[in-house]
Amino acid sequence: MKKYIIILSIILTANNGFAQNTDSIYINQNAQTESGRQKHTDADSMFVTANKLYNEGKYEDAVDIYEAVLDAGKESSYLYYNLGNAYFKQNTLAAAILNYERAYRLNPSDEDINHNLAIARSQLTDKFDEVPEFFVITIFGKIKSLFAANTWGIIALLSFAVFLILVLLFLFAGKLFVRRLSFWIACLVLLLSVSCKLIENNLRKYSSAIVFVPVLTAKTSPDDSGKDMFLLHEGTKVLVRDNFNEWTKIQLPSGEQGWVVSEAITII
């Protein structure tokens, strides 16, 4: 009886821990109506049309259709990447970097995305001496860039399912050796699951933005009376730290912080 109580507790804990992912899956499935499938097909057709226009050198027309696909609720790293290329061809640097960054967020290991993002960044006016990171943070950054947030979430969910199976094996295995082995492997798998979930949460809390005005002045306080601190130029990436009314507190890679008008930046 005690074993069944333990199993029931584990299952309830699992349901609570992954309720958000499960709910989102059900929402997506329920949304697959006839009209939803039609919109999906239309968006794919528009994407193909936009690619054709891009290859023909009609970049402005391609941008319009790519943006329309986004407005239709379609999102992918390929869409953002192509949209970034179309903006880059028109010398619209801020919009190009914004969409490269969004493509990178969805597919951080893609070589083409990283290459084009690096080229776009090299054309920026602002250059910063970044604050050295603790080596653990650097390693963590490299690890989390291996996959997108959704992939880390799937790994966390699957590894937790394996953990539950190993717990059942530990509870019902007859041989002592099997029980000990399943226990230690379950501990490692649980650690993997928790780590992947933390990485997923970290990636979803994406709080960066791109400057979308030619010149932006950061101030000491969230109002026009604040003293000028530093200037930023179009396309520069900043971290978002706080918001107050129509102002946003940002941080530079160098560590400097200041307040800017919210409408002058676009969240990645």
**What is the pTM (predicted TM-score) of this model?**
0.68
Q: Please report the DSSP string for 11-56 in residue order.
A: HHHHHHHTHHHHHHHHHHHHT--HHHHHHHHHHHHHHHHHHHHHHT
Provide the mean pLDDT of the chain. 82
Nearest to 99 by CA among 89, 85, 111: 85
**pLDDT at residue 12 greater than cutoff 50:** no
215 burial (CB, 10 Å; 0-12 / 13-18 / 19+) is: exposed
Instruction: State residue 47's pLDDT score.
Output: 92
pLDDT tens sequence across 47-73 = 999 999 999 999 999 999 999 999 988
**pLDDT at residue 19 greater than cutoff 80:** no
High-pLDDT (> 90) share of the chain, %:
57
Nearest to 259 by CA among 213, 231, 210, 223: 223
